[in-house]
Amino acid sequence: MGGSSSRDQPTETSNSSFFTEDELRNLKSEYETGGMEKAKLLIQRKINDLENTELNIAVTGQSGAGKSTFINAMRGLDKDDEGAAETGPTEGTMEPTGYRHPNLPNVCLWDLPGVGTPKFPARKYLKQMKFDKYDFFIIISGCRFTENDVKLAKESKRLKKNFYFVRSKIENDLHAMRMERGDFNEEEELEKIRNYCNRNLQEAGIQSPRVFLISSIDLNRYDFNLLNNALEGDLPSIKKSIYILALPNLNLEIVERKKKELKKRVWMLASLSGAIGAVPVPGVSLGCDIAILIGGIIDFRKYMGLDDASLQRLAKMAGKPVEDLKAVVNSPLVGEITPDIINRLAWGTAAVVISVLEITLDIIPVVGSIFGAGSSFLMTYKLLTGVLDNLTVNAEKVVTAAFGTD
């Protein structure tokens, strides 16, 4: 692909876990020698990693290529929103400028000056841009990739950094074709643009480049999902999860990917609940740790784009009244989370049959078998699984109301 080869990483498990094989062996050993109290520390450390790991994405290209528009779109923001990157025809970026994600502040997209400008000659660019801090580079062009873009890509490869070529403003190319020629085969023309970009990059010395055609004003079209798949395939487990959760809910595929990532967190939160000990919920015979449960619900709701601020941003992106999106949401989880709501959720899980054996074999590689069926662990696991299912259904309804079906 148009990036470096995969980084050497510890082998990750095939199950739904953020733990490597070595970490799982260590987790089992800690439990066997020190009980759940020692294993709990390793699980908590992994959760802290998920909450605190930073993801820094560098976006570079020539003036007018559409860097700022792309950065705003990736954060679900309009150019007029608070905190949006300034867009315009002139080169406004004279130094790396970071733009934090509105829901995940540890995710930052950096708008970098175009390489090869008088102030930033190519030979000094990488040092001045503090190259090592970025996880990967997105090189954007609004027309054709330049010699300086190629130099940046080659240096990225040399330093084992992944890079991705994005050909932006594709909607403008297609509009010009329609004005000039009338009807034409859109897929054939898109393939011609890809081939042109690939040939241009190969002639400049980039082996097997991959170019993604993007419209930042309509990310649902063209190659945006292909770009996401490429990025996710190259990122290590935790950063991949963070990247997926940072995506705006543009389509049902993104919602499903978020659900898959969040399901990996359910067993860890449930394990902490089981380790800490049950705090009975009023009116419910089984207990769970209330703080862990409420925190999980609030985080899951935010990641699934169902908090008020996320709904406002999505409505603006889709050009729909936010009331239309809120109207399709039918869940007690979007308001204040009270003991009464948890109580109702807990009674609802009575009909959910999840055996300890199923949990152990499915997604809990080590610690699932140490909790009994009536434990705080199992209760928290059932509750958070139900919460995630409920939020997913409602997020899908919102996406359909915003953009229609896939």
Domain locations in the chain as residue ranges: 21-51+249-403, 55-244
- For 143, counting Cβ atoms within 10 Å of its Cβ (0-12 exposed, 13-18 middle, 19+ buried), the class is middle
- For 253, counting Cβ atoms within 10 Å of its Cβ (0-12 exposed, 13-18 middle, 19+ buried), the class is middle
pLDDT by 10-residue block (mean), the chain, 406 residues: 43 54 76 72 83 91 83 88 76 77 92 73 70 88 81 80 88 82 82 88 85 87 89 88 92 93 86 59 51 86 93 92 94 80 62 46 47 62 87 95 79
The per-residue pLDDT for 247 is 92
The per-residue pLDDT for 358 is 45
The per-residue pLDDT for 91 is 54
Q: What CATH number has the domain spanning 55-244?
A: 3.40.50.300
The SS3 of residue 137 is strand
Q: Give the tens place of pLDDT for each residue, 362-395.
A: 445 455 444 544 467 777 788 888 889 999 999 9
Residue pair 238/50 in contact (Cβ under 8 Å)? The answer is: yes
Q: Give the tens place of pLDDT for each residue, 265-277.
A: 887 888 777 665 5
The per-residue pLDDT for 374 is 45
The per-residue pLDDT for 245 is 93
The per-residue pLDDT for 346 is 60
The per-residue pLDDT for 5 is 39
Pairing between β-strand 107-111 and β-strand 136-141 as defined by DSSP bridges: unpaired
The per-residue pLDDT for 121 is 67
